[in-house]
Structure 1
Amino acid sequence: MLCVHSIETFGAHDGPGIRCVVFLQGCKLKCLYCHNPDTIAMEGGRPYTTDELFEIIIKSKPYFGKNGGVTISGGEPLLQAKALIPLFKKLKTEGIHTTLDTNGRILNHFAMELMDKYTDLVMLDIKHMTEEGYEYITGQKNNKTTFAFSDYREKSGKPMWLRYVLIPGLTDKPELLKSLGEKFKTYKAIQKLEIQPYHKLGVHKWEALGWDYQLKDARENSEEELRKAQNILKPYFNAVTIN
């Protein structure tokens, strides 16, 4: 049984091609810019069996084409890694491409089995390059867990994308971008890095939950800032795109 927040049957920004995106309920982080804060609580969501989710996904298969497939996001999908294994196993029997969108904090044997055997692509969110910055953004300590996760995926030789939210004054400093590039420049598994422009689309959800949105004064990126960040990162990766 999987606890699902919502399902998007025609997603175009969560992995290659057209995808069915399943947002799971629950996350241990509380990122300042989270645009789905209603997925953070472990409570809530709707329970789905493997077969129920499979039937929903299979109806979208005609739209996947050569590049599309299924992306499991959240929340944090690897909190439910054990329950995802039978779903991904069933999807692979139908030749459906599988992607995990994760913050990389969980690397237990269920997560390893899910990634090693049944996950075609991992999209890993890099929150910040320093421990202090990571704690400020996520509310949790130990940025090293993300890097341990990326190291594990790299050793597997299986494809990985990095995603990085560019927040003016917080994550866009040239020294941070260069640190990001230096950390990952030798990785063979990384196919590309996606720059995620900062936006405030989820602010109303924070207000609805009665939570204080702490980045009220942060502004959205200018085109010039996005291109500047892209140019700094380009020498380090096979591809750098702005999502």
Structure 2
Amino acid sequence: MGHTEHVVAVRAGEIGSMHSWELVTAVDGPGTRLTVFLAGCPLRCLYCHNPDTLKMKDGEPVRAEELVRRVRRYLPVFRATGGGLTVSGGEPLMQPAFLGRVLRGAKELGVHTAIDTSGFLGAHASEQLLDDVDLVLMDVKSGQPETYQRTTGRQLRPTLDFGRRLADRGTEIWVRFVLVPGLTDAPENVDAVADYVAGLATVTRVEVLPFHQMGRDKWERLGMTYELGDTPPAGPELVDRVRGQFRDRGLTVY
């Protein structure tokens, strides 16, 4: 395929940039999931454990129809476990046309679908695309704008708006919150996240994810500056306190 043809195919969503894929259980949605990691993300989270997914140009080109064929291959597994397809990243909404084609193909096969997103690019998601999404795994990285800016380099408002849009349309949401000592753990920041999440009627699960150093080596291999090298993991008492702040609002917490 020539360069011009490739560009046209990308714009049409026929070709996307993929980092990798894996088959996982009870991690990225219910049942056994085929989780596809797309390349490219507009955020620069200080704790990102997949910094090798940040740039679209570093991914491998893949056709939407090829991914749908892969989904078809695992239909017996999905039916037996109540699983399905999860598109993650990076940030899947960096490639909305491609994402939309893959989701449509999966739904035509009767497969449960999920996307894992920060919500920052929620405006890129058309109503048609969201009609093909059964579950959104939404990463709410902070409840306070200044902490969100420090953590991601971006603004908080688009994420908040996207979450409310999902709730208004009745889309199920699982919220993920990464707990980083000295960065996102302040009681007032957690309260802000919990208050926001409690106001979303379709949130059925909150996952408090303790910070870890597993991505540090990737940053070093990529020649990127890792600012959290001296940050300790979140201890049991801190994790319990934060989970309690969510539970106090009647939320189901893991």
* TM-score band w.r.t. shorter chain: over 0.9
TM-score where L is the length of structure 2: 0.89
Q: Residue 187 of structure 1 aligns to a residue in which SS?
A: coil
Inter-partner Cα distance in structure 2 for 1:5 and 1:57: 17
- Offset from partner CA, 1:92-139 (integer Å, 9 cap, x none): 121110000001111336443211x10000111111111111111112
Q: Which residue is equivalent to 2:11?
A: none
- 1:104 matches 2:110: no
Q: Residue 71 of structure 1 aligns to a residue in which SS?
A: strand
Inter-partner Cα distance in structure 2 for 1:169 and 1:237: 26
Inter-partner Cα distance in structure 2 for 1:35 and 1:107: 22
Q: Residue 213 of structure 2 aligns to a residue in which SS?
A: coil
- 1:149 matches 2:167: no
Inter-partner Cα distance in structure 2 for 1:112 and 1:39: 26
Question: Measured at CA, do residues 160 and 170 of structure 1 come closer, stay the same or move farther in structure 2, by a change above 3 Å?
Answer: same
Q: Which residue is equivalent to 1:124?
A: 138
Q: Which residue is equivalent to 1:206?
A: 219
Q: Structure 1: where are the runs of 5+ without partners?
A: none
- 1:18 matches 2:29: no
The 10-residue stretch of structure 1 (171-180 or 98-107) with the greater mean CA deviation from structure 2: 171-180
| Cα pair 1:184 1:236 within 8 Å, conserved | no
Number of residue equivalences: 239
Q: Which residue is equivalent to 2:91?
A: 76
Q: Which residue is equivalent to 2:6?
A: none
- 1:231 matches 2:244: yes
Q: Residue 244 of structure 2 aligns to a residue in which SS?
A: helix
Q: Residue 57 of structure 2 aligns to a residue in which SS?
A: coil
| Cα pair 1:234 1:240 within 8 Å, conserved | yes
The 10-residue stretch of structure 1 (225-234 or 147-156) with the greater mean CA deviation from structure 2: 225-234
Among 176, 186, 201, which residue is 1:173 paired with?
186
Q: Which residue is equivalent to 1:184?
A: 197
| Cα pair 1:11 1:21 within 8 Å, conserved | no
The 10-residue stretch of structure 1 (28-37 or 186-195) with the greater mean CA deviation from structure 2: 186-195
Q: Residue 108 of structure 1 aligns to a residue in which SS?
A: helix
Give the Å deviation of 1:85: 1.5
TM-score where L is the length of structure 1: 0.93
Q: Which residue is equivalent to 2:21?
A: 7
Instruction: Specify the code of the residue in structure 2 equivalent to 1:196.
Output: L
Q: What is the percentage of aligned positions where both structures have the same residue?
A: 37
Q: Residue 224 of structure 2 aligns to a residue in which SS?
A: coil
Give the Å deviation of 1:238: 3.3
Q: Structure 2: where are the runs of 5+ without partners?
A: 1-14
Give the Å deviation of 1:186: 2.8
- 1:29 matches 2:53: no
Inter-partner Cα distance in structure 2 for 1:237 and 1:158: 19
| Cα pair 1:82 1:110 within 8 Å, conserved | no
Matches within 5 A, 1:46-57: 46-57=60-71
Q: CA RMSD in A?
A: 1.4
